Structures are given as C-alpha cells and as structure tokens.
Chains A and B, each alone.
Chain A
Amino acid sequence: MALAVLALATIAAMVAFMTLGAKGNWDFVLPFRGGKLLGLVLVAIAVATATVLFQTITQNRILTPAVMGFDSLFIALQTALVFFLGTRDLANVDIRLRFFFETVLMVGMSMALFHWLFLSRRRSLHLVVLAGLVFGVFFRSLSYMMQRILDPNEFTALQDMLFASFNSIDTQLLVVSSIIVLAAGWLSHRLLARLDVLMLGRDAAINLGIDYQRVVMMLFAVIAVLVSVSTALVGPVTFFGLLVASLAYQAVGTDRHKYTLPAAALIAIIALVGGQTVMERVFGFDTALSIIIEFTGGIAFMLLLYRNLNR
C-alpha cells in the first residue's frame, strides 16, 4: 500500500521535473532534462540501496557509508590518481575505463577498511561512528592537500573530472552507472531472503545456514560500487542516505527488505527529483539542494541518536 502511494508520488515528481516551466523546443528539452533526470534517479537509487544494505550488515540505523567516510575515500582515490599519474595521461584513457579502474580500487580499499573496522575486532558502535567521521575528515584533508600541490592547470582539469554537479552529468558515465545500478539491484533482489536473515544478527545468521563472511563481503562490494557511482555522478552527500532510509522504515513499518529497499529508493527519487524541481523552478537556484539535505539530515541524525540513547 505504502509502496503504491510512493510509486505514484515518484511518477508525479518525475513528470513535474520534465514538464514544469518548459518553454520552446521539446526536441531539446526532453533529452536535456531526461539525461538530468536519469542521473538524479540513478544517484537516488544508489544512495538508498547502499544505505539500507549497510544498515542491515551493521545492524544499525544510524550508520551510512557516507557517515563512515566512504564518499571522501572515493574522492581521495580519484585525486591520488591525478596526483600520481597526471591529467594528461588520464585524459587519454576512456572515461569508462578509468571509472572502472577507480571502482575496483574503491572496492578493494573500502573492503579492507570495513574488515578492519567491523570484522577484525568487536568495537563499540559509537567508537566506530566517531572513527568513521574522522576518517571522512582525514580523506578530505588529504585530497585537499594533494589538490593544493597540483599545478593550477591540472587542478582545473581535476575539478572538472572529479564531480559533475546535478546540473552537468556526464552522459558517458550515465550508461555505465545505469548498468551498475541495475546489476546491484538485481543482486540485492536475489539476496532478499538472506538479507532478512542477516537482520537477526551475525550468530543467528550463521546458525540459520548463511555463509556469513561471503555474503557480507559480497554485499560490501555492492555498497562500495554504489558509493562510487553516486559520488562520481554528484559528489559526496553525507546525510541523504540516512534521511531516506529512516523515512523508508517509517513508511513501510516492516523490516523486510522486499519492502524497505524499494521504499527507500522511491523516497530518495521523490526527495531528489522533487527537491530539484522546487529549487530550480520555484526558487531559481540549483546546488543549494545538497545544503538543505545536509541540514535536515544532520538534524535527523541527532534525533535518531537521541532516540537510540533514551530507549
């Protein structure tokens, strides 16, 4: 029921985005806005899925890959590539190939990080979150430092490559990203039942016959890939996933992934596409959307933390 309502709202948001305030030549408007819409939808699905999966693995509702600093890790990786290889060589490489390479690196690094933080030793949740936030600062400072050392021309080139904003999404990346998001969706669909079991906790899951290490590592690879997609397309958005996931849990009122995953994705699309429509057409400015998401997301995070504490 809730899913149907969400789906309707999603379609409404998409239609509004495509048509509101469109003047002139439809042959131009449709592909132009269509590309943007596809980008937004991909980002929304990637962030929402990554967050829900991450929360399932860690059995926690206040963790997201972004809070743990994984977005910043991806940016640090990209910057390091430019820093050590130089833009001139990189520019000759096909953007899809480069993206593939970066994603592989990202999966490797974040798996190592994840293993170290969560699997190697039992650590308190708050310690892990705090460490994650500091990781974010660390990777951000590191990328910023490398960017400062770069030659100014290289830096300009890097900035173009680093992240397009919601406004200028690279169409070549769109195709690759769509494939990746579809694959991730298909995989998590296949794992639906096992995801529900994972919610019961590590020991219960193992008792129920799940190859815990393997499934978790696989899911984690999916998460890393999805984070790469969303960060490559629009840059880091820290609290968006958190906001979307907790709204989704509220909306469907169940823990089953059959419902929570699509609900989170739909809510994310509504928030991004709808928000972008309102920002662009009503207020007439664009990137401020991410600031507003950051603001509401930060407050939501604090509220969640409080509720967790007082329970």
Chain B
Amino acid sequence: MSVRIRPAAGLLLAVGSVLVLATISLFIGVADMPLGDLISGDGSAQAIQLLLISRIPRTLALVLSGMSMGVAALIMQMLFRNRFVEPTTTGTVEAASLGLLVVALLAPGLPIFYKMVVASGFALAATFLFLRLVSKVPSSSSLIVPLLGLMFGGVISAVTTFFAYRYDLLQSLATWTNGDFSGVLRGRYELLFIAGGLALLSYLAADRFTVAGLGESFTRNLGLNYRRILALGLVIVSMVSAAAVVTAGTVPFLGLIVANIVSLTVGDNLRRALPWVAVSGAGFLLACDILGRVVRFPYEIPVGTVAGVFGSGIFLYLLLRRRARFG
C-alpha cells in the first residue's frame, strides 16, 4: 500500500509542483500581462502594479487558505478521532457565516479583523457544542459523526438563511459561503496570514495532537494536559475557518480529501503528515482555481464550485471504495 518515495525528495517534488501551479496562476487573467513587459521597460510599471495588487494576492491567498484548510481538517480528524470530519462537515463553517451575519446586522462598521474574531467565536462555540453532542453518541459507527455534523451544519445554516432572508442579505450570504477568490486584492486577504501562521504553529504542536489522537486516557498517562491540547486544536480550527470565510468563503470537503489521501499514503504521524497536507491542500486549491478560470475564460467559475464537484466525487470514491480501511 505505502508508496516508496524517499520522504524528503517526494515532498520537494510536491512543493515544486505547487510552485509551478502558483506561477501559472500568476499569469492567468483577463488583463494581459506579457512576460516581456515585466522585464523590459515598456509598460512595466502597469504590469508590475497588476501583479502586486491582484495576481500575487490572489495566488498567495489560494496557497495560504489551501494550506490552512488542509491542516485544520487533519487536526480536527485527530481530535474527533474520526476520518470523516472537517470544518465543513461539523457546522464550524456554517457557524462562522452565522457570526458574520450577526456582525453585518448589529455592527456593520466593524473592522475586518474584529469580524473575524466574532466569526471565530461562533465557530468555536459550534465546534465545542458539536463535540459535546458527539460524545453522547455511542461510538458504534464512525459514519454517524459526519452524518450528525452535516445535519448540525444544515440546522445552523437554516437559521442563518432565515435571518438573511428577512434582512435581504441572501446574496451576501451566498458570496461568503461559496469559495471565490476573484475578489481578492491587496488589502483584502491579509487575514489569511494569520491562518497560515496558525498552520505553522500546529506543526510545532504536532506531536501533542498525534498523542491526543490516541485518546484522552492515553494522553493523561503520558502526563499531557488533554483539555489544553483539545482547546488549542479547536481554537486553531475555528480561527482558520473564520479567516477563510471572512476572506473568500470556504471549499467543501477540501480538507477532508487532502487529509485522507495523505493519511493513506504517509500515515498518521502528524509531524510527518502536516507538511504533506499543507502542500497538497495548496496544490488542490490552486489547481481547482486555475481550472475555474480557464474553462469559461474570461468569465470565472468560483473555486468552491469546481472543488465541490471534484471534492464530493473523490469523497464518494473514498467512502465506497476504501471502506475496508475506515471500518
């Protein structure tokens, strides 16, 4: 089953392909930006401006959110001890959108950073509530947890839709929830650096999460504070989801697929798996975004939709084929 590539070399290869994708992403767009202009003098100021204001921010945002969504999903899977869990299957993302809606209704002028803080608060509360909910379920089937999670998210988003409908915010709501990076410009995506930073932070704590994934009593026996690890994990997951929702919306199943495929090939040691998840998350998102931009040039299909098609397709495949591995 395991793929025999020397780990470091394989990872370098993966990083290389993400870089290639990122470069492609830089040069796709409605406005022409010939490479010659960048190097030679003619019109280079304009080309550089385009690059700095639009292309680089978009590519960076894609890389950062792909990375952090993958990492968040992997951490969540460890903490919930369930393969089919990630922010979009547990109500976390829905709660973050609800938080945004509440801000839009009560304090529309709030700076974007505080919007994210409120959204994270909602996401954290929902995730924690869901964790409590799940702990009451007899753990007969690993499939019950995502099933309940999808319903939980559905109920939260019904509440959100209800208020959005009453206050005429349905359209804004659709923009928040469906991942779309076409509006990303300089000054509109910097929050994602926080998410990226959190992804790095989780690398430092990776071994703790690995241990926590083995269960509460096991963690206690090793002399670690289980609750603190749990809290750290939940905060990372919530803030990553909130930052993604605030900036560009989220992408269904992205983390789930990336984390599962990586776990299948590299195993469950988080310190080894995290870099892989981060790189493949970024690569998957970049590829979907490029596809969405090329298919109907010069119009765009939001990346959330493209990834939704591929993501749910791969998820179905995992569910129905790899059954033996997940029990």
Residue pair A141, B308 in contact (C-beta under 8 Å) = yes
Tell me if B144 and A309 are in contact (CB < 8 A): yes
Q: B281 on the interface (CB 8 Å rule)? A: no
Interface residues on A, range: 35 or more
Q: In the assembled complex, how far is the CB of residue B292 from the closest CB belonging to chain A, in whole angstroms?
A: 8
Contact at A131–B319, with CB atoms within 8 Å?
Answer: yes
- Nearest residue, chain A, Cβ from B312: A138
Quote the shortest CB–CB distance from B323 to chain A (angstroms): 7
For the complex formed, measure the closest distance between the CB of B306 and the CB atoms of chain A, giving whole angstroms.
Answer: 7
Indicate if the CB atoms of A134 and B137 lie closer than 8 Å.
no
Contact mask A134-174 → B, CB, 8 Å, 1/0? 11011011101100110000000000000000000000000
Q: Find the A residue at minimum CB distance from B84.
A: A130
Q: Which of A40-48, A254-262, A264-272, A284-292 contacts B (4 or more CB under 8 A)?
A: A284-292
Q: Which residue of B lies closest to A238 (CB)?
A: B154
Total number of B residues with any Cβ neighbor in A under 8 Å: 40
* CB-based contact B312/A126 at 8 Å: no
The answer to whether A138 and B309 have CB atoms under 8 Å apart is yes
B119-160 contacts to A, CB under 8 A, are 137-138, 140-141, 143-144, 146-148, 150-152, 154-155, 158-159
Residues A124 and B143 in contact, CB atoms below 8 Å apart: yes
Given A291-B162, A310-B138 in contact, is the A145-B147 Cβ separation under 8 Å? no
B301 touches A145 (CB 8 A): yes
Chain B, 145-183, contact with A by CB distance < 8 Å: what is the 0/1 string? 011101110110011011001100000000000000000
Decide yes or no whether A99 CB sits under 8 A from chain B. no
Whether B213 sits at the interface, judged by CB under 8 Å, is: no
Residues of chain A within 8 A of B320, CB atoms compared: 123, 127, 131
CA–CA, A287 and B161, complex, Å: 11
- Cβ B305 vs Cβ A295 within 8 A: no
B309 x A142 contact (CB < 8 A) = yes
Tell yes or no: A299 within 8 A of B by CB. Answer: yes
**Complex contact B155–A302 (CB within 8 A):** yes
A305 interface hit (Cβ, 8 Å)? yes
Q: What B residues does A130 contact at CB under 8 A?
A: 84, 143, 146-147, 150, 319
User: B215 in the interface, Cβ–Cβ < 8 Å?
Assistant: no
Per the bound structure, the CA–CA distance linking A23 and B161 in Å amounts to: 32
User: Is the beta-carbon distance between A291 and B161 smaller than 8 angstroms?
Assistant: yes
Q: How far is the CA of A287 from the CA of B137 in the complex (A)?
A: 35
Question: Do A126 and B309 contact each other (CB < 8 Å), given the known contacts A149-B296, A291-B165?
Answer: no
Complex Cα spacing A309 to B145, Å: 12
The verdict on B299 contacting chain A, using a C-beta distance below 8 Å, is yes
What's the least CB distance linking B93 to chain A, in Å?
13
The binding surface of chain A is classed by DSSP as helix
Interface check B57, CB cutoff 8 A = no
Asked if B302 CB lies within 8 Å of chain A CBs, one says yes
Given contacts A291-B162, A292-B162, contact A148 B147 (CB under 8 A): no
Mark interface residues in B312-327 (1 if CB within 8 Å of A CB, else 0): 1101100110010000
Q: Which among B151, B162, B302, B323 is the interface contact of A127 at CB below 8 angstroms?
A: B323
Known: A134-B312, A310-B138. A126 touches B147 (CB 8 A): yes
Q: Which of A88-129 contact B (CB under 8 A)?
A: 123-124, 126-127, 129
- B295 on the interface (CB 8 Å rule)? yes
Residue of A with least CB distance to B319: A131
Contact assessment for B165 and A141 in the assembled complex, using a CB-CB cutoff below 8 Å = no
Question: Cβ of B316: which chain A residues have Cβ within 8 Å of it?
Answer: 131, 134-135, 138
Smallest CB–CB gap between B299 and chain A, Å?
7
Interface residues of B in 85-109 (CB under 8 A from A): none
**In the bound complex, CA of A285 to CA of B154 (Å):** 22
Say whether B196 faces chain A, with CB atoms less than 8 Å apart: no
CB-defined contacts of A288 to chain B, threshold 8 Å = 162, 165-166
A305 touches B158 (CB 8 A): no
Q: Is the CB of A124 within 8 A of B158?
A: no
The answer to whether B151 touches A302, judged by C-beta atoms less than 8 angstroms apart, is yes
Taking the complex as formed, is B252 at the interface, i.e. its CB lies under 8 A from any CB of chain A?
yes
Determine which of B151, B158, B319 lies in contact with A134 in the assembled complex, contact meaning CB atoms within 8 Å. Answer: B319
Query: B315 contacts which chain A residues (CB < 8 A)?
Result: 134
Which of A133, A135, A145, A148 is close to B150, meaning CB atoms less than 8 Å apart?
A: A133
Complex Cα distance A291/B155, Å?
A: 10
Known: A148-B302, A291-B161. 9 other contacts (CB 8 A): A127-B143, A127-B320, A131-B320, A133-B150, A138-B308, A141-B312, A285-B166, A295-B155, A302-B151
- Give residues in B with beta carbon < 8 Å to A: 84, 137-138, 140-141, 143-144, 146-148, 150-152, 154-155, 158-159, 161-162, 165-166, 252-253, 295-296, 299-302, 305-306, 308-309, 312-313, 315-316, 319-320, 323
Top 4 closest pairs, chain A to chain B, by CB: A141-B308, A126-B143, A138-B312, A295-B158
Q: Which residues of A contact B (CB under 8 A)?
A: 123-124, 126-127, 129-131, 133-135, 137-138, 140-142, 144-145, 148-149, 238, 285, 287-288, 291-292, 294-295, 298-299, 301-302, 305-306, 309-310
